[in-house]
Structure 1
Amino acid sequence: MKILAFSDLHAAPSRAQALVDAAQEADLVLGAGDFCNHRGGLAEALALLDGITAPRVFVPGNHESAQELAAVAKPGVTVLHGAGCEVGGLRIFGLGYGVPVTPFGDWSCDMTEEMAETKLAACAEADILLLHSPPKGLGDVTGQGQSVGSVAIRDAITRLQPRLALCGHIHDSWGIRGRIGETELVNLGPVPNWFHLE
């Protein structure tokens, strides 16, 4: 299966068009959150992706809630937050939001490590973990050099060992790749990232 994945679109029309164009070759499209900005214009942001015809699985970022994303998702889009689905035989488990809690204030959709741990405990196995926040220690370094990823997410990756763990959230770490055990971790960013899984 040819998978296109991205994160942190933030309602950028040129980024969205590049994703739509690339997605014509995709069997599955994964979106790792932050489709809009500061909880505003979510429907318009998702409309920028209307040209994608492949099945889509999205998780909310910290700029939109799970309820807001599910409310405006078009047919063909599955929204996951503490839940899983199967597409083409691949088991995908999704967890959105900022983990741990961000310093951004009341508008940001965040979870504590404890809340994330509880939601991730619902996953017994997965081929792909689709996350908004990165794990602690990989793909999580800010421009100020701080490691701000999630311990609960890292523990879940270590426990589950999915084939892929895909995230975003920390813009300064877009494009960072690495491994946690057998799992390939990628902080995606708002560009086409390609993966092939059978």
Structure 2
Amino acid sequence: MRILAFSDIHRDVDRARQIVSASADADVVIGAGDFAICGEGSLDTLHVLRDCRCDVIIVHGNHDNACEMADFCADWNLGHFLHGTAVEIDGLCFAGLGGEVPSRTDHVWNASESEERAAAMLAALPRASVIVTHTPPLGHADLQHDGTHEGSAAIRDYIRQQNPRLALCGHIHNAWGMTGTIGDTRVHNLGPKLNWFEI
């Protein structure tokens, strides 16, 4: 399976159009959150991405309105909004968890989950081949510009326990393009460029 993945396009309609064009060569497109900016405008790019020619899996970022995105996907046959949920495509299980874990800001628009809540949601997921989260796992592809790690312990622990083949995330802009491994799992902080994976 050929996967095209990205994160953090933050209302960039031109980038969304590039993704749609590239989707002709993909089996699945994955968006790991932050389509909006400060809670506004996630539909700007989602309306464009609806033209993708394959299944599209999305999770919400901390800038996104999760309910708005879930509603948008409700009548999109190829669109799959995941948050503590999973979908099977061509025999592979994709699981997702959106938002910032844990919350690191008190902005009213910031979509987040506590580590405890995230752990409970992840524990309820089936075993996945690909885990898609907005927040990186703690200590992996989560390095801030000041040298601190701002990932999630719950996501890290899920990956250690379940050993998916691929973990895709975004959120920490300084870590875009960073990679790592947890056990046999490849971890990638995507960023807004077009990232290709084969599984």
Query: Within 1, Cα distance between the matches of 2:146 and 2:130?
Result: 30
Counterpart code for 2:15: R
- Tell me which stretches of 4 or more aligned residues in structure 1 moved more than 6 Å: none
1:105-184 paired onto structure 2 within 5 Å: 105-184=107-186
1:1-198 paired onto structure 2 within 5 Å: 1-73=1-73, 74-197=76-199
After the TM superposition, which of the residue ranges 39-48 and 4-13 deviates more from structure 2?
A: 39-48
Counterpart code for 2:139: G
Q: Percent identity of the aligned residues?
A: 43
Q: What's the RMSD between the two structures over aligned residues? A: 1.2
Query: Within 2, Cα distance between the matches of 1:102 and 1:19?
Result: 30
Count how many residue pairs are aligned between Structure 1 and Structure 2. 197
Shift of 1:32: 0.5
Unaligned runs of 5+ in 1: none
Q: TM-score, normalised by structure 1?
A: 0.95
CA gap 1:65/1:118 in 2 versus in 1, 3 angstroms: farther
Do 1:29 and 1:54's aligned partners in 2 also have CA atoms closer than 8 Å?
yes
Unaligned runs of 5+ in 2: none
Query: Within 2, Cα distance between the matches of 1:65 and 1:101?
Result: 15
Shift of 1:40: 1.1
Do 2:33 and 2:62's aligned partners in 1 also have CA atoms closer than 8 Å?
yes
Do 2:35 and 2:41's aligned partners in 1 also have CA atoms closer than 8 Å?
no
Counterpart code for 1:160: Q
After the TM superposition, which of the residue ranges 4-13 and 15-24 deviates more from structure 2?
A: 15-24
